[in-house]
């Protein structure tokens, strides 16, 4: 239990730009339709994050116990590979917003 308490305060540049910003940058806040779609994006994003967590602690754990650890680890590996392929295949469709200095 002491390990997370020690590691958590360590500053990390990876936390300054979470992947959610990529999704938020796809919408124009000046357009009312885009604002509604952005709200829908956040709802969908957090729903999928929570469903993924639920799937991980129920289905994957069951498969690891009933079938084996190899299959249990293959499920998240296959899901991650599928997510990477989907992300890379859609890169040309993304709205690329250059970073701004603060």
Q: Residues 29-47: pLDDT tens digits?
A: 777 887 788 778 778 888 8
pLDDT beyond 60 at 10: no
Cα–Cα distance for residue pair 21/8, rounded to 1 Å: 22
**Contact assessment for residue 34 and residue 28, using Cβ atoms and an 8 Å cutoff:** yes
pTM as predicted: 0.63
| Other residues' Cβ atoms within 10 Å of the Cβ of residue 23 | 15
Using DSSP, state whether 19 is helix, strand or coil.
coil
Integer CA distances (angstroms), 20 to 5, 43, 75, 99, in order: 25, 12, 24, 15
Question: Quick one: pLDDT at residue 71?
Answer: 94
């Amino acid at each position: 239990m002491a390990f997370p308490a020690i590691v958590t305060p360590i500053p990390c540049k990876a936390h300054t730009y979470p992947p959610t910003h990529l999704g938020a940058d796809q919408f124009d806040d000046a357009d009312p339709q885009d604002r509604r779609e952005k709200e829908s994006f956040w709802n969908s994003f957090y729903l999928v994050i929570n469903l993924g967590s639920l799937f991980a602690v129920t289905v994957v754990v069951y498969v690891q116990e009933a079938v084996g650890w190899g299959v249990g680890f293959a499920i998240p590996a296959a899901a991650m590979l599928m997510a990477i392929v989907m992300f890379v295949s859609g890169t040309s469709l993304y709205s690329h917003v250059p970073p701004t200095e603060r």
